[in-house]
Amino acid sequence: MIIGIGTDLCDIRRIEKSIETYGDRFKTKIFTQAERDYCESKSGSGAFYAKRWAAKEAVAKALAGPKTKSLSWQDVEVINDPSGRPTVKLHRGALARMESRMPEGHKGEIHLSLTDDYPYAQAFAMLEALKEN
C-alpha cells in the first residue's frame, strides 16, 4: 500500500554555486560522509550532489504527514545498492517518522528514482507499507 509520494526538481547550477560559495561547510551540513565520498568520486560531482539534494526533498515529502515538521538533512541518506540503484537509508527523525506512518503489522520501504539532464536533477520517492510476515 502506498503511504506517500514525493518529487523534487533541482537546478544543478544552484547546487554548484552553493558548493563554490560555501565549500565544505555546505557539503557537511547537507550530505553525509558516505554521500560526499560518492559524489567526490564522480566527474561532474555537482550533478551527483544535486540529485541527492532532490532525493532528500522528495523523501521528506513522501514521509510528510498532516502535522509533521521538517527533517534534518543528515537523516535522509542516499546510497547505492551493489547494482548501482539509488536507495535511501533513514536515520533518527526520518526513521521515526517512517515508522510512525506505518499501519500496524507493516514495515516501510522507500522506492527512489533519480535522473538528471543538465541543468536539472530530479527525484521521485514513494513510501510503501509492506505487510510483515
**Interatomic CA distance for residues 9 and 3, integer angstroms:** 21
Condensed to tens digits (0 to 9), the pLDDT of residues 57-93 reads 999 999 998 888 888 999 999 999 999 999 999 999 9
Sign of CA dihedral 105, 87, 81, 115: positive
Helices (H), ranges, the chain = 12-22, 24-30, 33-40, 45-63, 92-101
* Domain carrying residue 71: 2-131
Condensed to tens digits (0 to 9), the pLDDT of residues 96-124 reads 999 999 999 999 999 999 999 999 999 99
User: What pLDDT sits at residue 67?
Assistant: 80
Q: What is the pTM of this model?
A: 0.94
Domain count, the chain: 1
CATH of the domain at 84: 3.90.470.20
**Interatomic CA distance for residues 12 and 17, integer angstroms:** 9
Query: Dihedrals φ, ψ of 81, to 5°?
Result: -75, 175
Which of 7, 29, 4 minimizes the C-alpha distance to 18?
29
E strand or H helix at 131: strand 120-131
Q: Is 108 helix (H, G, I), strand (E, B) or coil?
A: strand
